[in-house]
Amino acid sequence: MSNVRDSADFAGEAIVVRGGAPLDGVVDVPGAKNSVLKLMAATLLTDGRFELTNVPDIADVAIMSELLEAIGVRVERPTGDRMFATDNGDLTPVAPYELVERIRASINVLGPLLTRCGHVRLSMPGGDDFGARPIDMHVAGLEAMGATFKFSHGYLEAFADRLHGAEIAFDFPSVGATENLVTAAVLADGRTRIDNVAREPEVIDLCEFLVAMGARIDGIGSPTLTIDGVERHELHAVSHHTVPDRIQTATYLAAAAVSGGSIVVRGARPDHMVTVLDRFREMGLGIEVADDELRVDAPERLRSIDVATLPYPGIATDYKPLIITMLAVADGVGIVTENLYPGRFRYVEELQRLGADVRTSGHHAVVRGVPRLSGAPVRAHDIRAGAAMVVAGLAAEGETTIGGVHHIDRGYDDLVGRLAAAGAAVTRVGS
Ligand code: UD1
């Protein structure tokens, strides 16, 4: 294992954090990765020139742009947070392995391409390194709407002259399956009703984007969505402001919490974070909310709590590495239960290298807080775990070097610059 640590992840760039400096400053939060990637995919429903604003400058957006370009969409980024996607109607509904294997959200082109083109060929999607991520619900839902599937040589092919409405009930409120099926249903023939849908703010952002385009969707924000299919000429390109990133917001709150600092986070949507803010308050964080701003004051020492991840409005699994990091330096013992991805504890061994007392068993972690972590080289295993390592570095004595920075770059728009501007001793090194 140490060879991998030494060679692969530390050969390129690394983030170096010096713990001990309390944060003090203002952080502006960019748009949500998990929204913008789906908005980009949904532009495939019709031709015209779409404008997206509040687009984060992250690697996954660049990869999704390449994927759209490969399909036949012209993508322009006139400024860091603005994007145009222009489609002249000449699409090749094929999503190649080289791009799809790099981001999970590439599965989101399945619904729009199938409903628009009647055929799609898609490499089976990749994603984060935290366990199997099947797509059976996407496939079953589209089959209920009349699609047929073939799987061979790592590709899936889907066919449908025109999808038709259907009654679909999810066993579990999958974010990706909800998004794919809603988008596909927009151009289906007749009414589609989907029960037990995901209600994450990013799903709602997509639904509102689709409605602005001319889609007919009822029940947005509730567990049941009803979509009445429209004809393609009834849809049109629109301009849309991407919802702020609640996971990045929580990352800056966690950074202030463990560093003993006090910051203002601007451009956020506190109303999308009610549950997690309650839990942070229970841990002793002082949080004041005013419109799109959060003012955060860290206590002398955080208090431990128990946390279980759940679909929205529960605590998102993406917050969990941050919460475990906060618990690692809190007073007391906290039990964290993962209900979405049982394998999502790989980063715990990295936290242990920093002196955290964390034990995992199945989908539980028991975290016994220690007063301070101690800096060491660690590795980012995925986007959120990587950001949590940077946060852990702020709570550590001495220097923490985080390798595998490309994982963090997938979902964080200038994490280092934003933290440094708020007073953290953090830099990026290497080439
Ligand atoms: C999205 C987010 C991810 C977040 C997750 C849960 C993006 C790009 N990613 O992922 O950051 O952690 O929501 O909030 O938006 N499942 C099945 N079959 C399916 C689909 C899902 O078994 O067909 C299972 C998954 O394996 C997982 C659970 O359902 O255990 C949740 O998956 P889902 O909600 O679909 O997450 P994603 O859309 O992949």
What percent of the chain lies above the pLDDT cut of 90?
Answer: 86
Question: Taking phi first (over 0 means left), then psi (-120 to 50 degrees means alpha), and beta for anything else, what does residue 267 get?
Answer: left
> What are the structural domains of the chain?
7-30+244-429 (3.65.10.10), 33-241 (3.65.10.10)
Between the CA of 420 and the centroid of ligand 1 the distance, in Å, is 32
How far, in Å, from the CA of 127 to the mean position of ligand 1? 10
Centre of ligand 1 from the C-alpha of residue 161, in Å: 28
**pLDDT, tens digit (0-9, with 9 covering 90-100), for 396-428:** 999 999 999 999 999 999 999 999 999 999 999
Q: What is the pLDDT of residue 9?
A: 53
Residue 89 has pLDDT above 90, yes or no: no
| Terminal C-alpha separation, the chain | 23
pLDDT digits (tens, 9 = 90+) for 24-47: 999 999 999 999 999 999 999 999
**pLDDT score for 7:** 47
Residue 153: predicted pLDDT: 87
Q: How far is the CA of 133 from the centre of ligand 1 (A)?
A: 7
Which of 87, 128, 318, 413 is flagged as catalytic? 128
pLDDT of res. 124: 81
Nearest to 341 by CA among 176, 206, 98: 176
Q: How far apart are CA 383 and CA 197, in angstroms?
A: 25
Q: How many CB atoms lie within 10 A of CB 315?
A: 22
Task: Decide if 368 contacts 333 (C-beta within 8 A).
Answer: yes
Q: Could you tell me the pTM of the whole model?
A: 0.95
Q: Which atom of ligand 1 is nearest to the CA of 176?
A: 38
Report pLDDT for 10: 53
- Measured from the Cα of 247, ligand 1's closest atom is 11
Average pLDDT, the chain: 94
Q: Are 331 and 303 in contact (CB under 8 A)?
A: yes
Q: Ligand 1: residues whose CB is within 6 Å? A: 34, 37, 104-105, 133-138, 172, 174-177, 198, 316-318, 340-341
Q: Whose CA is nearest to atom 4 of ligand 1?
A: 318
Asked whether residue 2 carries a pLDDT value surpassing 50, the answer given is no
Tell me, yes or no, if 128 is annotated catalytic.
yes
Q: Kindly report, residue by residue over 154-172, the tens digit of the pLDDT.
A: 889 999 999 999 999 999 9
**Does the pLDDT of residue 1 top 50, yes or no?**
no
Enter the tokens of residue 426: 């953090």
In the prediction, which pLDDT does 3 show? Answer: 37
- pLDDT band for 126, please (50, 70, 90 cuts): low
Evaluate if residue 72 carries a pLDDT over 70: yes
Helices 175-185 & 110-117 angle (0-180, nearest 10): 20
The ligand 1 atom at the shortest distance from the C-alpha of residue 178 is 35
pLDDT of residue 66: 96
pLDDT higher than 70, residue 176? yes
For residue 172, the ligand 1 atom closest to its alpha carbon is 29
| 309 secondary structure, DSSP code | B
In whole angstroms, give the CA distance from residue 378 to residue 349: 9
Backbone angles phi, psi at 68, to 5 degrees: -65, -40
Read off the pLDDT of each residue in 348-371 and give the average, rounded to a whole number.
96
pLDDT tens for 284-343 read 999 999 999 999 999 999 999 999 999 999 999 999 999 999 999 999 999 999 999 876
Residue 8 pLDDT > 80, yes or no? no
- Ligand 1: residue whose CA is nearest its atom 5: 175
Nearest protein CA to atom 28 of ligand 1, as residue: 340
